[in-house]
A and B are shown apart, each in its own frame.
Chain A
């Protein structure tokens, strides 16, 4: 470690103002802070002493994604061999999925971090860790067979128009990972929707419809069992299938206090309430689907745990979080049941509510001010 530190210290002057490689200072900076805790401290004013910084936050989210990611890799292999009618051993399936996903992850990080460094360089600020999590989220919300050039374009679009035009990490209005997915969904629908794409290298005869796809066309006899859907033995985007693994990730996020439980819980409550309302209405088979199906099918759980809770794009006030989460859940189920063009509503629901989050906050703050003014009046009278 010491040798590494010394090496970095020796190289440092080259990257500082006036040095030979000044142009690459942001790259050096990000590399250095990746290896060592920065030694910068604040000088004046009171501040909270806690080692938490963006890096630790991001690493925690990263760790919480690992269970779903590993399961996703295995499931890619499992679904592939299942469609071929084979059942090889565990590691064959895992490595099949691993080698399917690795290029997607590499392309995502390569393009995303490359653009982040370019923007950091132009704007003279440090490369920050914002893309660290988005870069892992994106491969987890696409089908395993997605062409890599499409991933590259979508990531570039998401980083530039989802984030950098607003001023970089922390300033974005909508979740960049979901922008990438929405871009793919609308730009290249052939590779990310329908029955053909969810199982990698699927045998033609095998039905590859996801539970949501089945539900949409009214094919309720082919629905997998609740157990299968909860455990994740179903076709779908890489990371979203296993509700169990996502819940493990949710536990990590909640115990460490990185994600806010208000958003998470209210998304699930919102989805359940909408499901129950539809059960009461019961106009068609889809509406009669038990409400908990909605929570374990498709990307609902993944979106609720990892996407809706994004602290930048979610509502900021405690009360606002309840409204925000509740509406995300409700709209997601609403889109699923009502809109025949979009089998999955979670992505659109979160993006929509991302846009409305500042409005929710505004009204929460306003109402609080009004309440306190009233109290003040009552006291002063």
Chain B
């Protein structure tokens, strides 16, 4: 009985809050751990697909984290990767079907990349590193935190790329017509994946400039 009455950890204890804020800056999946780069390059030409992608990843990571965390004591270690994959695949298919049903246009733009969420290193990484050894609630927060960190970078890249590449945001033209008459032209390179990589590089540059903890000792 003494064990049960042990003081329960509050839902949003500092430790739990850290699970959410950590991946946004100090252990950001994209800029610090350099995971999930492929989708960051592929879906960020426009803002809309980037946001939908971020939300999809959030749903998949959070849900699979919670599920795996519930199952963690019952999974034989030798087949854990397969079990994790089955869970992720189920979630991805669910997300894919929902997207096809409600936002068909965006789902078409994202095309194969929704299916490829399965191979997004962030998800497998979180399941292996966190959900397999933690309780469901922290696992849920960890999933939300990591997908927020991922989504934040995605949105920033997509904002820059859509603004300079297509002169619009969410599909609405924002660069005034007068500028085009003056000779301004949209930057075609911004639409191409290499520029997404360079944008990621610039974000890492800025982040490290302001976050001294991230700079390795020489």
Query: Which residues of A pack against B, CB within 8 Å?
Result: 147, 149-150, 153, 161, 165, 183, 186-191
Contact = CB atoms under 8 A, between A and B. Distances in A.
Nearest to A161: B198
A188 B191 CA distance: 12
A188 B198 CA distance: 18
Contact of A186 (B192, B201, B205): B192
Contacts of B198: 161
Most buried by B among A153, A187, A190: A187
Contact of B188 (A147, A165, A186): A186
Interface in B185-206: 185, 187-190, 192, 198, 201, 205
A161 B205 CA distance: 12
B183 interface: yes
A187 B183 contact: no
Interface residues of B, number: 11
A188 B185 CA distance: 7
Contacts of B184: 149
B189 A190 contact: no
Contacts of A153: 187
Nearest 9 pairs between A and B by C-beta? A187-B189, A186-B189, A187-B187, A187-B188, A188-B185, A147-B183, A186-B188, A189-B188, A161-B198
B188 A191 contact: no
Contacts of B187: 153, 187-188
A183 B185 contact: no
19 contacts: A147-B183, A149-B183, A149-B184, A150-B185, A153-B187, A161-B198, A161-B201, A165-B201, A165-B205, A183-B189, A186-B188, A186-B189, A186-B192, A187-B187, A187-B188, A188-B185, A188-B187, A190-B185, A191-B185
A189 B187 CA distance: 9
A187 B191 CA distance: 9
Interface in B42-65: none
B65 to A, nearest CB: 36
A147 B179 CA distance: 14
Contacts of B201: 161, 165
A131 to B, nearest CB: 20
A174 to B, nearest CB: 12
A85 B27 CA distance: 66
Interface in B167-218: 183-185, 187-190, 192, 198, 201, 205
A37 B76 CA distance: 74
